Amino acid sequence: MVTSQRTQSLLKSIFSGRRAVIAIPYLWLLMFFMLPFIFVLKISLAEPIMAIPPYTALLEWGDSFFPSIRASLESYLFLFSDSLYIKAYLSSLKIAIISTILTLIIGYSIAYSVAKAPTRWRGVLLMLVILPFWTSFLIRVYAWIGILKTEGLLNLALMSIGIIDKPLIIMNTDLAVYIGIVYSYLPFMILPLYANLEKMDMSLLEAAADLGCRPFKTFWTVTIPLSIPGILAGCFLVFIPVMGEFVIPDLLGGTKTLMIGKVLWTEFFYNRDWPVASAVAIILLALLVVPIMLYQKSQEKAIS
């Protein structure tokens, strides 16, 4: 009898501990995702006014016991009626796709080289990949200004070698934005690719070679298909944050680079139109839901 009671108390403590462990991430998502999302959604349904805060209240309390809801879809209708916002979304999508492809090409070659390196060197090479994270993101972007500007290190080096006669115009162009994005988000592509390539069964490559398959064909028919989970994970980790990127386009792209992150910042701090800015953020989040769900499914398949 005593033994059964102890067993029951032990099981209760185990299950209560499991509930606590499961509840922590749900509470985290509730506090830092759902509540901010609800606040932004509430603001997007309001109307702009000259006040603090600069939007109307969603609930109005009158003489009745229940409050009246004053919601407006005017901000969303305004976004679809103004071509600026549509162009900003399309431009952000284009820059995110091209940046993801460039990051994948460079990141795959680096991850493959690290995975093929001797075991004693892999830790050092991975540390070199992670090393930029030890420096502030903003400082790293500012460093590219000193490299890419007209009197920067890149132009001085090319002119001193004799490759060019006059400085190249790279700053305040889309090329500078691509360089900054690829450099900043490259580790997010390399790490999942390396984790996938490092645990690949090398006997499959040896079997393909024994069957007369050339190295290039082996790479495309064996290595690439086996590394698809890492490719998907790296692409989603790069594409999703680049869609809302603000710092790199603002510092390296100048006024001509149109991205939704810059438009969002302008609406909040210059125009002080918080309902429109919140509607921009809600639509951006809705556009990113699909790749986020695809990323989660790819992670579930990789784990299983």
Instruction: Determine the pLDDT at residue 90.
Output: 92
**Tokens 């603090």, residue located:** 52
The CA distance from 23 to 32, in Å, is 14
Listed in sequence order, the residues at least 6 apart from 166 whose beta carbon sits closer than 8 Å to its beta carbon are 159
Instruction: Determine the pLDDT at residue 2.
Output: 47
The CA distance from 108 to 131, in Å, is 18
The CA distance from 84 to 264, in Å, is 12
**Tokens 């998907």, residue located:** 232
- How far, CA to CA in Å, does 67 sit from each of 10, 47, 59, 60, 276? 49, 18, 6, 5, 24
The CA distance from 170 to 157, in Å, is 14
Tokens read off for 225: 């298909």
Mean pLDDT by 10 residues, the chain (304 residues): 56 59 77 85 87 79 69 87 89 94 95 89 90 88 91 90 88 92 94 89 74 79 86 90 91 85 87 89 86 71 64
The CA distance from 267 to 269, in Å, is 6
Reduced DSSP (H G I as helix, E B as strand, rest coil) percent helix, strand, coil of the chain, to 5: 75, 0, 20
| This prediction's pTM | 0.84
Q: Are 281 and 43 in contact (CB under 8 A)?
A: no
Strand partners, 59: 69
Instruction: Determine the pLDDT at residue 147.
Output: 92
Instruction: Determine the pLDDT at residue 71.
Output: 80
Q: Are 208 and 218 in contact (CB under 8 A)?
A: yes
